Amino acid sequence: MASVTVNPTRMELTRLKGRLKTARRGYKLLKDKRDELMKQFLDIVRRNRELRAKVEDGLMQAHASFTVASAVMSSEMLEQALLYPKQSVELGMGFKNIMSVNVPVYSFKTANADLGDIFPYGFAQTSGELDDAVEALSGVFQDMLELAQVEKTMQLLAEDIEKTRRRVNALEYVMIPQMEEKIKYISMKLEENERGNITRLMKVKDMVLQEAHNYQ
């Protein structure tokens, strides 16, 4: 406390006690927020692991089918078949709040709900493996979009968890101990002053009694 300047008055003591009460309440709220954010984060991590495995499997299937299609079709025919996409997709983005953290929500819809419109070519001169590759890519697209959403959510939650953790630590290990030490210091000073006042009053009383005794 020697390095901290503090005014040892009852007004300052009352002010510090109020700040300490507020800091303890804030510490509890931030600690609860940190714990809930961690719970949400771990749930999203598990979902991310599931989606990543699903997307990787879908892409591997699509790649395998496309490799076979490339082997049985000429490169010119393959390029011509895929040159002009038939289906169009509209992407949308919104937000949702997770413990005061705004995370993105992605969505998409196709211009035509007919699943057959994903094939931009006729079936007469193309292989069935190409159909499988296009269908696999179409099926994995929704999972890829959700995976992007989940990974961005993980990033935002991780940043907020770190900020909340630093605030919790600052309150627990710096601010609250400092305020407690200041309160202890002021209380000691006030008690010393009170004892000094009592001692002086007793001396004054003794002097008054002595003077009265001598006077009598």
Q: Which residues contact 102 (CB under 8 A, 6 or more apart)?
A: 95, 96, 156
Integer angstrom CA distances of residue 185 from 117, 182, 190, 194: 78, 5, 9, 14
Contact 84, 123 (CB under 8 A): no
pLDDT(77) > 80: no
Side chain identity, residue 66: F
Confidence label for 113 from pLDDT (cuts 50, 70 and 90): low
The average confidence (pLDDT) of the chain is 84
**What does the pLDDT average to over 164-191?**
93
- What is the pLDDT, as a whole number, of residue 2? 40
CA distance 16 to 134: 68
**What does the pLDDT average to over 1-15?**
76
Is residue 54 exposed (0-12), middle (13-18) or buried (19+ Cβ within 10 Å)? Answer: middle
Residue of 105, 99, 103, 102 lying closest to 39 (CA atoms): 99
Weakest mean pLDDT among 50-59, 90-99, 122-131, 165-174: 122-131
User: What are the chain's domains?
Assistant: 10-206 (1.10.287.3240)
Q: What is the pTM of this model?
A: 0.75
Strands 101-110 and 89-98, bridge-based pairing? antiparallel
- What is the pLDDT, as a whole number, of residue 74? 77
- What is the pLDDT, as a whole number, of residue 204? 76
